[in-house]
Structure 1
């Protein structure tokens, strides 16, 4: 056991940057940069003449940068606005049946995007994978100095898919290193009419790999690590037994009784229960037969309120004990408020 404790302590010391990942709640900012790989852009037509199949522009590997402002909802869901920039230099013009020509110039893309992302918190104590999708608008600016390549700026609706992971930095609460892959595409055709040529192009697909930083404001510091050999003190378990009291000869819930039932229903979601007992009781006023029926009606009223508060009906067992099992011992015919009750027990 001592060697195991020492090993765990050594692992913790060897990973000073890792921190327990927490869901993002509230405002955050992010920025990243990396490489952008463009698929070939197809020329659909040049100067009004339909291009031969396969006529396209080929790009070199380029660069990309992204800045974002977002909001985390505390349940893994995030929404953000971003502005991105991509740059790729032109490589060559591909024209089947003709000699391909080396190009000099570039294509730059930039614009705003709105993204929705989901963090898979709890899968790992050290990193959080996430996925997302976005939509927005991108301007594509093409410049070229040879081969009569059409140039200019054209804008189109854009969409993207995002897969990434975040690694929190324990030294700075709220700060994380991020790694992402993004696929972004521009929808529709774009018309360029500069450099003495008019061309209609399509198929602007971009594969981007980025490394970045993200900072969530208001993040709580990570709990201090336990010293080797120390024992963690578990948090108090939610209450598992509740008493609901009734007015004399009544089976209706008071406002306070409804609050207690709601508290019991809420805490039932925090434990792995197998069943919930709802046991009804009465005082000794009235006949034993009447009190038996009254105790069952009280139990049914509490069970119905539990169901309204989200507890599955098939998880509840109702029993009536009438004037037996008194909470306060009395003689017959006594109206004792504490005996007019229902007990909720979460097993």
Structure 2
């Protein structure tokens, strides 16, 4: 139980210290296999006791799950098998035969700790039922048990995945599985009681995950429209200019710096205002929402501001008249806690002084 709690505690501390940028969403399938260790198990029936040592075994798991951003829920079927190596009592470390197996059906919950790389650490916990099977465990001609029983089990999980593309990911993890007492019947040749033993397993696995569905499509490319040159009217009288909005907001998709068609129309308006004589300089300030680290978001806010600058230059605004600043997560338009995807905070402010 201490191992189980330790896995969760370490993972929660890491999760609080990190923010999410790329997250799993939608339906996925997974499979993995690897080595399984079943520690020495002590079987007890009144005054009779025997201890089993086990060979290094194997584990095979299959999963289907659904991601809701950083949180995933999953159904899992598993199989673990370990051959019996030695029986310590009552035969003084005699060679044993048979195997201790466990088939499981678990419901798991994961938390993905996203980083600014393709690597995503994760922690998880699960609970379900485990069919613990003593498959003809024996020494010489004495069979101790040949029985199975379904009992409640739980597990702790810690691992990491590596994203190959929008669908495929490799993963590796460590799993600690434990059950309640599996009261296996003794073989009649040894006794007629029910032995007490809790099954435990340590497994180190590698596998893959396949995510269904199409990746999000990028916004349609924005092509600036030519702005007609302004022809001064030859009117003899001075005409009062109409009020000009000197602040414009250009909004962006999550974790993107691409100019969307809607953002492009706002940039067109700002360029027209400059050409109409509203200003001889432009100040661009980029911002992000509160997802992710300070360093990552500062760079993202600068990319957004530079994307707007490039669009203005294509519209004929001289480069020297445009200044660019990035504020990252600072100065939110809509105040939020850290780790919140707020669309109105993902913006560039255009100011015509």
TM-score bracket, normalised by the shorter chain, equals 0.5 to 0.7
The aligned counterpart of 1:186 is 179
Q: Residue in 2 aligned with 1:10?
A: none
2:122 aligned with 1:130, yes or no?
Answer: yes
Deviation at 1:43, TM superposition (A): 1.1
Q: Hey, what's the Cα distance between the residues in 2 that align with 1:120 and 1:44?
A: 42
- Which residue of structure 1 aligns with residue 74 of structure 2? 80
Q: Do the aligned residues in 1 keep the contact of 2:182 with 2:199 (CA within 8 Å)?
A: no
Q: Is residue 50 from structure 1 mapped to residue 47 from structure 2 by the alignment? A: yes
| Matched residue, 1:108 | 101
Mapped contact 1:26–1:73 kept (Cα < 8 A): yes
Distance 1:88-1:269 versus aligned 2 partners, 3 A rule: closer
Matched, 1:175 2:172: no
Q: CA deviation at 1:187?
A: 1.3
In the alignment, which residue of structure 2 is the partner of 1:300?
A: none
Q: CA deviation at 1:273?
A: 3.9
Change (3 A) 1:346 1:158: farther
What are the equivalent positions in structure 2 for 1:277-316 lying under 5 Å apart? none
Q: For 1:272, which of 301, 310, 329 is the aligned residue?
A: 329
C-alpha deviation, 1:165, in angstroms: 0.6
CA contact (8 A) 2:132 2:199 kept: no
How far is 1:269 from its partner? 6.2
* Uncovered stretches (5+) of structure 2, i.e. residues with no partner: 1-20, 219-255, 264-287, 292-327, 338-348
Kindly provide the CA deviation profile for residues 145-185 of structure 1, in whole angstroms up to 9, marking residues without a partner as x.
54331221111100000011111113xx2110110100000
1:201–1:236 distance in 2 versus 1, CA, 3 Å: same
The structural deviation recorded for 1:191 is 2.4
What CA distance in whole angstroms lies between the structure 2 residues aligned with 1:81 and 1:268?
Answer: 33
Q: Which of the two has higher C-alpha Rg?
A: 1
CA–CA distance in structure 2, aligned partners of residues 40 and 155 of structure 1: 20
How well do the aligned residues superpose, as a CA RMSD in angstroms? 3.4
Return the offset for 1:190: 1.8
- Specify whether residues 179 and 268 from structure 1 end up closer, same or farther in structure 2 by C-alpha distance, changes over 3 A only: closer
Instruction: Give deviations 1:246-291, integer Å, cap 9, x for gaps.
Output: xxxxxxxxxxxxxxxxxxxxx9868634477xxxxxxxxxxxxxxx
The answer on whether the counterparts of 1:39 and 1:58 sit within 8 Å (CA) in structure 2 is yes
Structure 2 CA distance for partners of 1:195 and 1:91, relative to 1, 3 Å: farther
Distance in 2 between the 1:275 and 1:138 partners? 50
Normalised to the residue count of structure 2, the TM-score between the two structures is 0.55
Query: How far off is 1:188 after superposition?
Result: 2.3
Q: Map 1:160-171 to 2 at 5 A.
A: 160-170=155-165
**Is 2:23 the partner of 1:23?**
yes
* Cα separation, 2, equivalents of 1:222 and 1:188: 51
CA deviation after TM superposition for structure 1 residue 199, in Å: 4.2
Is it true that 1:210 corresponds to 2:205 in the alignment? yes
TM-score by length of 1: 0.56
- The verdict on how the C-alpha distance between 1:60 and 1:268 changes in structure 2, with shifts beyond 3 A counting, is closer
